[in-house]
């Protein structure tokens, strides 16, 4: 099938979906957006299949953080020399300046209180050697192949999943890297992904957010609750994902979601 035919096709899709990735509890509006779009897709004749990302904790620390900061942040620190540091990014960047022994010590001390933060301090130490960097690259390729195989096993065409929302309150973006799990995973996988606005935050979402605890109930979960509090009226979106080299199918899925949401409002 040609690219225009894929984009214009009306063939029912088999769609994987997830409301939570098992690492970061979504905000109430994020979850509601997925549930509402899932219902619209099912009513339109598509098949929805539950999906969970593979080895999410391992991937975030061993493949993503260690990949982005393979040299322990040395190159990034050099790029920042002589320039003012945006206050929004300061909490994220300052630990990169810590010596390796301090990162490892903090990782050990924080483990009982905040396992995620402790593991993060260990990961930002980097991979340690060129040999380990090659191993890390190989592990990424293995993960891509395993994920594609999982999609084939479930026989899904595309994936419906949350995207961070609503927009954060000021000065929180550098303090909460945990919720990036919902988007950064597809950068690692090199899967085409797009975001479609589908709703806005309601008063009911805000009320439910008051009871938000998070999966780990740690500092990052508390910060995320603070970051998205007071977002009534702000846009809520969903994320549409396809396999590598299937950009037209991703766009077709996005168009489908956009049209169904528009029709539901008429």
In a domain, 224, yes or no: no
Q: Is the same domain home to 120 and 244? A: no
Among 191, 109, 182, smallest CA distance to 145 is for: 191
3-state secondary structure of 37: helix
Q: What is the reported pTM?
A: 0.93
Q: Is the same domain home to 177 and 249? A: yes
Q: Within its chain, how far is the Cα of 223 from the centroid?
A: 17
Give the span between the Cα atoms of 257 and 266, in whole angstroms.
15
Q: Is the same domain home to 39 and 167? A: yes
Question: Using an 8 Å Cβ cutoff, are 252 and 206 in contact?
Answer: no
Per-residue model confidence (pLDDT) at position 70: 93
Domain total for the chain? 2
Tokens representing 222? 């508390």
Q: Which residues of the chain have pLDDT under 50?
A: none
Q: Is the same domain home to 263 and 163? A: yes
Per-residue model confidence (pLDDT) at position 2: 61
Per-residue model confidence (pLDDT) at position 6: 78
Give the DSSP letter string of 129-174: SHHHHHHHHHHHHHHHHHHHHHHHHHT-SEEEEE---SPPPTT-TT
Tokens representing 36? 């509402």
The pLDDT tens digits for 68-78 are 999 999 998 99
Among 185, 168, 175, smallest CA distance to 239 is for: 185
3-state secondary structure of 235: strand
Q: Is the same domain home to 120 and 242? A: no
Q: Is the same domain home to 49 and 170? A: yes
Q: Is the same domain home to 80 and 195? A: no
In a domain, 143, yes or no: no
In a domain, 7, yes or no: no
The pLDDT tens digits for 20-77 are 999 999 999 999 999 999 999 999 999 999 999 999 999 999 999 999 999 999 998 9
Expressed as residue numbers, the domain containing 164 is 13-54+157-199+234-266
């Amino acid at each position: 099938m040609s690219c225009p035919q894929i984009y214009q096709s009306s063939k029912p899709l088999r769609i994987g979906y997830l409301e939570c990735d098992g690492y970061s509890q979504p905000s109430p509006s994020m979850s509601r957006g997925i549930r509402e779009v899932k219902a619209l897709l099912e009513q339109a004749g598509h098949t929805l299949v539950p999906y969970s990302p593979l080895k999410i904790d391992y991937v975030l620390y061993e493949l993503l953080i260690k990949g982005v900061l393979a040299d322990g942040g040395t190159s990034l620190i050099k790029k920042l020399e002589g320039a003012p540091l945006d206050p929004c990014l300061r909490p994220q960047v300052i630990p990169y300046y810590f010596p390796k022994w301090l990162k490892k010590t903090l990782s050990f001390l924080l483990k009982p209180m905040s396992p995620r933060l402790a593991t993060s301090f260990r990961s930002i130490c980097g991979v340690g050697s060129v040999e380990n960097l090659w191993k890390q690259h190989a592990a990424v390729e293995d993960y891509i192949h395993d994920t594609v195989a999982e999609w084939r096993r479930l026989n899904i065409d595309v994936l419906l999943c949350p995207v961070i929302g609503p927009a954060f309150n000021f000065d929180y973006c550098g303090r909460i890297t945990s919720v990036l799990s919902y988007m950064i995973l597809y950068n690692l996988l090199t899967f085409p992904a797009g975001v479609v606005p589908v709703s806005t935050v309601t008063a009911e979402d805000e009320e439910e957010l008051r009871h938000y605890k998070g999966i780990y109930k740690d500092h990052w979960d508390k910060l995320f609750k603070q970051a998205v509090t007071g977002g009534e009226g702000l846009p809520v979106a969903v994320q549409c994902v396809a396999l590598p080299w299937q950009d037209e199918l991703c766009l077709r899925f996005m168009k489908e979601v956009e049209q169904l949401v528009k029709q539901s409002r008429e």
